[in-house]
Amino acid sequence: MAVVPASSSVGSPLIAEVDMGGGSDPSSVIVRATVVQASTVFYDTSATIDKADRLVAEAASYGSQLVVFPEAFIGGYPRGSTFGVTIGSRSAKGKEDFRKYHAAAIDVPGPEVDRIAAIAGKYKVFIVMGVIERAGYTLYCTVLFFDPYGQYLGKHRKLMPTALERIIWGFGDGSTIPVYETPIGRIGALICWENRMPLLRTALYGKGVEIYCAPTADAREVWQASMTHIALEGGCFVLSANQFCRRKDYPPPPDYEFSGAEEEPSPNSVVCAGGSVIISPSGMVLAGPNYEGEALITADLDLGEIVRAKFDFDVVGHYSRPEVLSLTVKDHPQHPVFFTYAANKESEQKS
């Protein structure tokens, strides 16, 4: 596992606890953060969580207080798969591919969530983890948040899956766009091309996000421009984690096939090149981007940089014009079935 060094010497002791209350100056806090660039063990969720344990242990040994994993790290990003879908039909093999993918997903809450929470508690770190969430028979691309005390904090479901992702993942709603106030800063996350949705970003800015996590599957160089823009626009640190995968990280054909390619990639062919990066509120690249292999990419985040950046530009503060431009976020859950009798009984019990 390659390691991209932090902006200060790697190996300094972990800051076990940061007190940002009681009159302390939060802008004087230094946070060591790591983004993980590694592949899923596809179709093997237990082995993937074991791998996550090893990666978090390594990051914690360098003093990291926050570890961010890529999109769909648990459950896998099914790169190259069509699930047998054409307009008007779905193949039998594609349906079986979905069954196997559904089996590799996790329930939230559930035993796998408990395992990840235990990892966070064992190494005393915050974890932001990309997963495929199973809710009955529908899957969601989701990010889970954990604290250093081994507690699951909550989740963000991808609001808008991209292109063929819409065939296999459900759509999130406004009820899972959290920003968590923690001793190391306010942490939130959007997934992959959600980060290109200006109004959704604004919702995070409105909640005061300071450490903006961007798990992704986009390894193109143009992704870096988006990450830099968000750091400048939001006056926040941006931590983007992507998988680095070779063909051999997926099951061999015919169990798993890469559609659309002129020929089947060789086992060592790179199918996702990473590009994980950490960027400061001033737009400075602190670590990465890395396109060379699996890596832990680490940097020290000086929260004072947020204050200095906001002096120039505070998108939901002094640089806003709410009398001209405003955003309304519908942040309540959207249910396909609503039983009025149960809702009325609950209302009566509260009154």
Mean pLDDT confidence for 29-33: 94
- The pLDDT tens digits of the residues spanning 267-291 come to 999 999 999 999 999 999 999 999 9
Q: In sequence order, which ranges of the chain are alpha helices (DSSP H)?
A: 45-61, 92-104, 111-123, 165-168, 198-206, 222-234, 304-312, 340-350
In the chain, domain spans: 2-12+26-350
Which residue among the candidates 17, 58, 71, 305 is catalytic per the annotation?
Answer: 71
Residue 71 a catalytic site member = yes
CATH class as words, domain 2-12+26-350: alpha beta
Chain-centroid distance of CA 232 in Å reads 20
Q: What is the pLDDT of residues 229-270, one digit of tens each?
A: 999 999 999 999 999 999 999 999 888 988 866 778 889 999
pLDDT at res. 261 = 67
pLDDT value at position 347? 67
pLDDT over 90, % of the chain: 82
What's this model's pTM, rounded to 2 decimal places? Answer: 0.89
User: How many Å apart are CA 43 and CA 104, to the nearest integer?
Assistant: 5
CA distances from 35 to 59, 272, 273 (A): 9, 16, 15
Cα–Cα distance for residue pair 64/61, rounded to 1 Å = 7
Count of Cβ atoms closer than 10 Å to residue 238 Cβ: 28
pLDDT mean across residues, the chain: 90
Mean pLDDT of 300-306: 96
| Beta pairing class for 211-213 and 185-189 | parallel
pLDDT in the model for residue 311:
95
Mean pLDDT, rounded, for 143-160: 97
Residue 21 has pLDDT above 50, yes or no: no
Mean pLDDT, to the nearest integer, of 110-129? 98
Beta bridge partners of 276: 290
Q: Are strands 276-279 and 237-240 parallel, antiparallel or unpaired?
A: antiparallel
State mean pLDDT over 300-329.
Answer: 94
